[in-house]
Structure 1
Amino acid sequence: MAPETTSPGRLVGPARRLGADGPAVGPIGLGCMGMSGEFYGPADDAQSVRVIHSALDSGVTLLDTADMYGSGRNEELVGRALRGRRDEAVIATKFGIRRADGRRWNDSSPAYARAACEASLRRLGVEAIDLYYVHRLDTVTPVEETVGELARLVQEGKVRHIGLSEVSALNLRRAHAVHPIAAVQSEFSLWTRNVVDDGVLAACRELGIALVAYSPLGRGFLTGTVRSTDTLHETDFRLGNPRFAEGGLEANLALLPTLEKAAAAHGVTAGQVALAWVLAQGEDIVPIPGTRRLPYLEQNIAAARLELTAEDLAALDRVFAPDAVTGERYPAPIMPVTR
């Protein structure tokens, strides 16, 4: 049985381990991407630090960032928040997506892996990254070469565990043959279940690798609070997302009543039911909902105590079947190309 988290207050339950030899973390992590103010409208650094501190106080241990979030500012923010509290957190960050002069491309070359790691260590202000992901594999570097360099960073004590993001089952197996992979980070929620259909989740379970589920709340859609794009800031990433576009959002809103019915039956929010659904898919799955607001953080943490019935799960599975969702999960220009 997994060890118990014993932090004060709200997040109490079986911890979930990242890989066979990886760290045990709370059943729900914290995605920090939105705190950079780049994807979901303006953010307040002081408020974001308070959210991170409250998360730690409540037993949330897995904090997720990446070097491309805010062009490094997100890592700097996480680093500031963890001063004096480093030992309370499992820091996960990522490399592999580069941007410059209006261009965006993937680079998982060994040379860039090392350079990016050194830069992330400086921004975070730490001596080692607990979980270092390849954010995206490029199309030319064999995954064995990338993971081989990351393995050398592990040997040097700069990285503790290795992860991959948006990877195919084939390349996951190739990578794991070079060095143990602790976690795969992929989008996974009621309305995004690609990792089931493409065999990635099955490969993770075969190899003893955890799945870290990003966007488990469907970028806010599954909370039931986004019913019109009129409420979104003009810089919000979702304005260009097909599932929130004209026609897509209206069609997807028809899926929400089943989620809201389950929420009403349990006396909780729709978002809490959506998170409980992810948690119910297996103890090897760790959702990392992102938020920069304390009330939403508290709701997310409380979802770890919600137990859905078999009837709830069956109804949600049926209504949110992949073919019932309208729109791709990303705009075409930045749709992840899984390798």
Structure 2
Amino acid sequence: MKTWMKFTFVLCLLGAQVAHGQTDKKQASNKAKPKVRILATGGTIAGAQMSKDEYGYKSGTFSVDNLIAAVPTMKDIADLTGEQVANIGSQDMNDEVWLKLSKRINEVLKSKDVDAVVITHGTDTMEETAYFLNLVVKSDKPVVLVGSMRPATAVSADGPANLYNAVAVASDPRAKGRGVLVVMNDEIHNARNVEKVNTINVEAFASPERGPEGLVNTGKIAWSEPSTKKHTSKSEFNIEKTDKLPRVDIFYAYANMAPDIIEAAVKAGAKGVVIAGVGDGNMTEATLKTLERLHKEGLLVVRSSRVPIGPVLRNSEVDDDKMGFVASGEFNPAKSRVLAMLALTKTNDPKKVQEMFNTY
């Protein structure tokens, strides 16, 4: 590793020590610390700049042991162990890693020696991974995803503080039973609600429809009301014997949208499609008619929206009942795709899938 990279990483380490050096060690020693397993998948939080003079960086440069070592005060609040499940930028996250990660989480959480899991992850697809895990993890123990917007070697890297806060949230008994959570920039978000809303700012995540599930600063937590939707141990989805997920594609709607690309996806093996529609999940008349026909041939069709805020209402401007479509409600296209994939492991009946969208 280049000298300047090592030096910058040490600075991050020292900064984390100063920021969190006020931990009350005497109080922590009076009770058994929770046992937290950190599962690393790569991402910006483990990234290093290719050059100190350039913005670009390589994801997954540092290992899980490096990340733990960079924030030594985490050991004051939890007994930590770590393992590397993957080492990729989250733009390359895929079904294979999702299945591997979820099965490993379920295995780890069965152990009496693990009280919670923290997952380090790239931010690009973090909301999708979090929601997938929210539907397939079979435990009420805390599961927390965390990442960073700046690589570990950057000036004012946000990874160490985010990771410290994630471990603090996972260690809090009040996190149990809340489903999968995402901790970024001093906020706690429910996996169902969280979205990435900024390309480069550290304030990159929000829950536009329902707001954050809590706030966390230097490990101090203020919780709000938990989600009432089904998740984790109450979810009907089980991937323990699954080695492949059904293909579901997303199509962005626009003026003069043509349906031929959708037909090409179906010929290529798509079992479902999500339309990131204009407005309230709308699309051109030609696309509607094509999708109605393809549904009759067995295709699952979900209407979502390219608009960032607001639900897609059932039977509002499109006759979903007649056409056999599913309305996504609050889910954006990415989350809609995740739920549609898991729904297709059980059924392609739009009425049953719509109930899943209402339930989860």
Q: TM-score, normalised by structure 2?
A: 0.30
Structure with higher helix content: 1
Greater Rg by CA = 2
Highest relative contact order (Cα 8 Å, sep 6+), 1 or 2?
1
More strand by share: 2
Structure 1 length-normalised TM: 0.31
